[in-house]
Amino acid sequence: AEQHKSSTQKSISKSKNIIIKKLRIRMREARAAWRENKKDRTLKKKFKKAKLALEQAKGESKIKKASIKKLNEMTHEKSLGQLAADEEGGNSSMDICSGSSNQPPAAPEVVETKQDPEATTTTNDAKRKVFVSNLSFKVDEAAVRKLFSECGNVTEVTWLEEEKKGSKVFMGCAYVTFSTLEGASKAVQRGEVHHMKRDVRVEYSRDRTKMMSEVVEGATSCFVGNLPFDLDEKDLEAWAGGSAAGVKKIFLLKDRKTKKQKGCGFVEFHKTENLRSFVLKNGSLFKGRKIRLRPK
C-alpha cells in the first residue's frame, strides 16, 4: 500500500512539473513576442497573463509539496507509535518516545570528492578563446597576431573555412586563443577594431558552426530579430555584408496600422553558402543590440 501511495505521489508530482514546464515555455514565448514590440498592449497583456499562470502553478505546487510532507510526517509518527506498542520488554535498542538510541551512533560516512582537473582545463580553454569575424580576406596569421599583441600572448589562430568546389575557402572569421584569461578578456573588451579597412568584431567563442549545419541545402532566407527600431534597410544590408556577401533582398517587418518597425525582418541571399556564412553572426552586437538569427 505504501509503495502504491508513493508511486501515485510521484506520478502527480511529475504531471505537475510537466504543466509548469509548459507554462514556463508559454510565458517565455509571450515575453519574447512583447519584447519585439513593446508598444503593443495586447502582447503585454498576454505576457502578464502567462506569467501569472506560471506563478499560480508554482504556488499550488509548493502548497501540494508541503501537504505531502506533513502527511508523510504524520504517517511516520503513527508507524513509530505502533512499533512502540508492539515492542516487548522495553529493552529495545531504540527508545521510540525519545528518539534516542542505546547504542552509539554510527560514524557518518565520509565521501571524498575530487575536482576534475580536465573539466577545469576545458572551461579555461573556452574562456581563453575568442571569435573574430568580418576579417579581411587578405589577412594572414601574422597580421592577426599583431592585431591582438597588445592584449596578450596569442597561442593559436584557427581559420574558419568551408568546402567549396572541392577546396577550402576562408570565411573571414577565425578563433584566436590566448595564453591567459586576461588576454582574452582584454580582446573582448575592445568590441570592434578597425583593421584592413574593416570593422573587425571580437567576442567570446561559442559553437557557431552548429547553426551552419541547420541550414538545409537550397535555403536562402534568414529571420533577423532584436533589431534597432530606427534601422533602415540599407543599414541592415550593410551589416549583412551587402552584394559582396551575396545579399539579394532585405525586408523589415512593420506594424500594419502605425507603419512602425517591429524590430525584426528577413535577409534573403542568392546562394545557400551565403546564408551559412551569415548565420555565424548570430548573437553579434549591432548598434548595441544582440542580434538573433534563424535560418528559414
169 neighbors 209 (Cβ within 8 angstroms): no
- Average pLDDT in the chain: 77
State the Cα–Cα distance between residues 177 and 158, nearest whole angstrom.
8
State the pLDDT confidence band at 16, using cuts at 50, 70 and 90: confident
Position 45 pLDDT exceeds 50: yes
What is the gyration radius of the CA atoms in the chain, in angstroms? 30
Residue that has been written with the C-alpha cell 537550397 in this structure: 218
Q: What is the pLDDT of residues 244-292, one digit of tens each?
A: 999 999 999 988 888 888 899 999 999 999 999 898 888 777 887 878 8
15-29, 88-102, 148-162, 210-224: least confident range: 88-102
Position 35 pLDDT exceeds 80: no
Instruction: Go through 240-277 and write b for each residue having 16 or more CB atoms within 10 A of its CB, e for each that does not.
Output: bbeeebbbeebebbeeeeeeebbbbbbbbbeebbbbbb
**pLDDT at res. 100:** 42
220 neighbors 274 (Cβ within 8 angstroms): yes
State the Cα–Cα distance between residues 12 and 79, nearest whole angstrom.
24
Residues 192-220 have a mean pLDDT of: 82
State the pLDDT confidence band at 195, using cuts at 50, 70 and 90: very high
Position 240 pLDDT exceeds 80: yes
**pLDDT at res. 292:** 86
Position 125 pLDDT exceeds 90: no
Q: Is the dihedral of CA 51, 53, 56, 60 positive or negative?
A: negative
- Rounded (10°) angle between helices 2-36 and 41-86: 160
- Give the torsion through C-alpha atoms of 223, 225, 228, 231, to 10 deg: 10
Closest residue by Cα to residue 253 from 224, 294, 276: 224
State the Cα–Cα distance between residues 219 and 294, nearest whole angstrom.
12
* Backbone φ and ψ of 78, nearest 5°: -65, -40
